[in-house]
């Protein structure tokens, strides 16, 4: 199979691209690629999309959390980035087990292209990655995003959440519960997330 050529023109291995016709004759491209297969210009475009979609309320820690895994990117036929999301590996402890989790980060759609199904296409690509590579999926949802995720079958965690930090296990009773994908865990046992800088969830 020949390597896919991204917008930069660099040949890359392990990149999946789908072309979607839209109403009005427009064409959009859904591409999945690892962080290492995105060139600096593509990463800058994705980072700028976060600032635009979140109205500046997206920190450098938030951006760092979305790197190092698989990205889903939707471009229009001019090459403009319309939507983005990524899934990265994390670990959680639950009922004596360490589970490999595909954690969804940095999901955003350009404000002028929202509610046109682009977020659903990004999530479909990320869910495919989770189903093929992880024990389960997890994410922390905004109020707006939660409607999208629950409508796709994500489930709100009903148990306690804690983090395994430098000082040991620390409960997080005030955190919004994460949403989970692809597994039914016993809520009588807490979810103990790995530590990271910035927001834990």
User: What is residue 29's three-state secondary structure?
Assistant: strand
Residue 95's closest CA among 190, 169, 160?
Answer: 190
The CB density around residue 98, as the number of other CB atoms within 10 Å, is 12
pLDDT in tens, 80-123: 999 999 999 999 999 999 999 999 999 999 999 999 999 999 99
Q: What is the pLDDT of residue 10?
A: 46
Q: Report how far residue 150's alpha carbon sits from residue 93's, in angstroms, rounded to the nearest whole number.
A: 24
The answer to whether the beta carbons of residues 196 and 65 sit under 8 Å apart is: yes
**HSE of 20 in the Cβ direction (CA atoms, 13 Å)?**
17
Which residues of the chain carry a pLDDT beneath 70?
1-16, 20-25
Which option is the CATH number for 16-194: 2.60.40.420, 3.40.630.30, 3.20.20.120, 3.50.50.60? 3.40.630.30
Longest CA span, the chain: 57
């Amino acid at each position: 199979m020949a390597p896919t050529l991204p917008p930069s023109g660099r040949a890359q291995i392990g990149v999946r691209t789908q072309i979607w016709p839209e109403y009005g004759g427009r064409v959009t491209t859904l591409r999945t690629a690892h962080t290492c297969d995105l060139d600096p210009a593509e990463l800058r475009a994705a980072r700028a999309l976060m600032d635009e979609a979140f109205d500046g309320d997206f920190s450098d820690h938030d951006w760092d959390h979305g790197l190092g895994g698989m990205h889903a990117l939707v471009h229009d036929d001019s090459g403009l980035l319309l939507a983005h999301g990524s899934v990265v590996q994390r670990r959680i402890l639950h009922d004596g087990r360490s589970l490999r989790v595909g954690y969804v980060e940095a999901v955003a759609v350009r404000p002028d292209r929202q509610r046109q199904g682009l977020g659903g296409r990004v999530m479909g690509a990320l869910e495919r990655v989770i189903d093929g590579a992880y024990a389960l999926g997890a994410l922390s949802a905004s109020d707006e995003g939660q409607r999208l995720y629950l409508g796709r079958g994500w489930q709100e965690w009903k148990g306690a959440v804690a983090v395994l930090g430098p000082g040991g296990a620390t409960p997080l009773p005030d955190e919004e519960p994460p949403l989970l994908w692809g597994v039914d865990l016993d809520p009588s046992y807490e979810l103990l997330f790995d530590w990271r800088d910035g927001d834990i969830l």
